[in-house]
Structure 1
Amino acid sequence: MFSHRTLSFLVLAVFMVEELSALTTDIFSLIDRIDNRGVLTKGQQNRILNLTPDQNGKVRLHKDCKAINRFEAASSGIYIIQPSGSVPFVVYCDMDTKGGGWVVLQRVSKNSATPFARHWNAYKYTFGNMEHDHWLGNEYAHRITKKGHYEVKFVVESSLGKVEVDYASFNVENVTNKYKLRLGSPIGNSESYDYLTNFDKTGSSDNMMFSARDEDNDRDARNCADVIGGGWWFNQCSNVYFNDHQIHWQGICDDCLSATILIRPSFENCK
């Protein structure tokens, strides 16, 4: 016969195993619900940073990286987010760039192992390596920005160093409107690098629909996405575009080394 103490220990052990089993099931169920989980390797699934349950045993999801980094203590990496009205999906959160809380929409480097000459449907969703060069997806950019006021930071690196170009607002419209880009005014010193809005209307990307090699929505007689080799908000083949063949930002570099697009809620959301 078991002693009372031994029996209590066994009951506790069984309870803990059942709780752990239920928790593991909940986590696997959450992973199965991630809309773009197919982009992650098994190792990256294990490195999702917000799978730790709270005191009630639930994994709490936030609408974006800024909400995750509310107290500025989170690390950069892969997180699950769930904007209002959306299914969960994974993003790479940059918690190190000025103030943290940035969702990475695109990261691309010259001669990248991730090709960007893809079709319209590929650009709707995530492709590439979430921890390196990737495209988050127009649909996810729309879901994040449709119910809040977001700012954007473009980080462009050349042989002379990095240049950051900031705009006060950033919004991607829905698929019916071909994921049209809406940008606010450049912030501070970024005005001198503003080739996306008012500097040159023929090259401006603001208010342009997204184009891909099989979906020509630009204002040029050519299909700019096919000519240049990557999807973008082209106007007349534009002053700015990012792909693995050529990363170009007029006034910064013609053949840049890398580029990153980062978004987060602006202070407008706090008013």
Structure 2
Amino acid sequence: MLHKRYSLDELDESSGVDLLVLGPQETCLGPHKGSGRPCLGEQIFALAVPKLWNDFYSQQPGAPWGFKRCCFFPAAKTGISLPTKQEKMKGLLSCCGLVSMLLLSISAQAETSALPADCTQIRTQSPQSPSGLYDLQPVGVNNRLKVFCEMRSAEGWIVIQKRTGGLLPFNRRWAEYRFGFGSLAYDHWLGLEKVYLLTKDETKKWTLRVDLWDTEGNTAYAEYRNFRLGDEQTSYKLQVGKYRGTAGDAIRGISPDMDENGFGFSTLDRDNDGCSPCLFYDILVEECIMLQGGGWWYSKCGSASLNGDWYSSGDHTSWSSGLRWTTWKTPKTSSFKATRMMIRPE
């Protein structure tokens, strides 16, 4: 193997190296021709023509780009006539163009593969990373996903829903809830499809956290382990595991027939709420969405609904209106001032 570093000016008769061959050769030419020995391979650009590529990847320890069929061979031992300097320069520049394209392609692939899979990975790798917008790429997903990461002392959370006021309406159709809406840095819905892509890897478990703020300045939270969404064919069916927190387990509801766990998502134009119809006291309900608004995993209208109409303090209109988490506070007394839903890997 060649161990001398060559500059472009040294590539002449005295160097013993005259051509860089980029082609389908299975073994080296020159002194190893026919020997079955491999070509120069991985270290070709670290060991040769450094001047030409000094400004490109000068910090690379080698060239692990799989050039296992590239060879330098000494003219003196092959009997091949030496090319002129002009021919040599033309050939090297041609190689440079080819290699540049390959390196840019590989660099792009490396950048893609280097993207973090979740916000906790960002927090672990860079403990000083602030809350903000980041690109993620979960395992098995081809496209990058832009999310807002809420950074905590030991982990990072992906925000999937945030509401702080009534400027952004949440009465939306299926397509909008599927792909998401709003501004990621402010009030928004990340999108059912994105949450499914984030959580579809069954070897990775997730925790869902719900934060609630009422109009009097009180706060509460609910966390669910083993959170996951099904794909669109299941209507993004909700799955949650064990609960802990201070807000109560509203997803499973105040009664067994209101358990939202295992239900698909409902919107203005897609009904998966299990009512056919539902009877609440003296009220007959065909679709929960018409009563509570927004979009949610309604189960006979359920005990939780954070995507309904937002109301200021004392302005909610009925027992079912507003942002609801009835195991903490009922809509009869108030609608929440703000809500946030986040997920992180366990």
Normalised by the shorter chain, which TM-score bucket?
0.7 to 0.9
| Partner in structure 1 of residue 123 of structure 2 | 69
1:80 alignment partner AA:
D
Question: TM-score, with normalisation over the residues of structure 2?
Answer: 0.57
Distance change (3 Å), C-alpha of 1:99 and 1:225 = farther
Matched, 1:140 2:194: yes
Greater length-normalized contact order (CA 8 Å, ≥ 6 residues apart): 1
Distance 1:239 1:214 in 2: 21
| Partner in structure 2 of residue 95 of structure 1 | 151
- Of the three residues 149, 154, 179, the one matched with 2:205 is 149
| Partner in structure 2 of residue 108 of structure 1 | 163
Distance change (3 Å), C-alpha of 1:110 and 1:249 = farther
Deviation string 1:228-269 (CA, Å, 9 cap, x unpaired) is: 120100001111101243211113232011111110001xxx
Q: Secondary structure at the match of 2:256?
A: coil
Distance change (3 Å), C-alpha of 1:114 and 1:66 = same
> Structure 2: which 5+ residue stretches go unaligned?
1-50, 57-104, 278-285, 311-321
Distance 2:170 2:256 in 1: 25
| Partner in structure 2 of residue 257 of structure 1 | 337
| Partner in structure 2 of residue 169 of structure 1 | 226
The CA deviation at 1:57 is: 8.8
The CA deviation at 1:108 is: 1.2
The CA deviation at 1:198 is: 6.1
Matched, 1:119 2:173: yes
Paired positions, count? 215
User: What is the 5 A alignment of 1:44-83?
Assistant: 58=111, 60-71=114-125, 72-83=127-138
The CA deviation at 1:224 is: 1.4
The CA deviation at 1:199 is: 4.4
Distance 2:217 2:165 in 1: 15
Q: Of the two, which has the highest radius of gyration? A: 2
1:176 alignment partner AA:
Q
Determine if contact 2:252/2:260 at 8 Å carries over to the other structure.
Answer: yes
Distance 1:143 1:128 in 2: 19
> Structure 1: which 5+ residue stretches go unaligned?
1-10, 17-28, 30-52, 267-271
Matched, 1:130 2:184: yes
- Of the three residues 228, 232, 235, the one matched with 2:296 is 232
Distance change (3 Å), C-alpha of 1:104 and 1:83 = same
2:266 alignment partner AA:
S
| Partner in structure 2 of residue 217 of structure 1 | 272
Determine if contact 1:154/1:259 at 8 Å carries over to the other structure.
Answer: yes
Distance 2:258 2:208 in 1: 19
| Partner in structure 1 of residue 242 of structure 2 | 185
Q: Secondary structure at the match of 1:193?
A: coil
Distance change (3 Å), C-alpha of 1:235 and 1:62 = same
- Of the three residues 324, 334, 337, the one matched with 1:248 is 324
The CA deviation at 1:205 is: 1.5
The CA deviation at 1:200 is: 2.0
Distance 1:172 1:126 in 2: 15
1:164 alignment partner AA:
Y
Distance 1:196 1:223 in 2: 18
The CA deviation at 1:100 is: 3.1
Q: Secondary structure at the match of 1:225?
A: helix
Deviation string 1:6-34 (CA, Å, 9 cap, x unpaired) is: xxxxx9xxx59xxxxxxxxxxxx9xxxxx
Distance change (3 Å), C-alpha of 1:57 and 1:146 = closer
Deviation string 1:166-216 (CA, Å, 9 cap, x unpaired) is: 1122100001111000000112x44x7012126422322111100001000
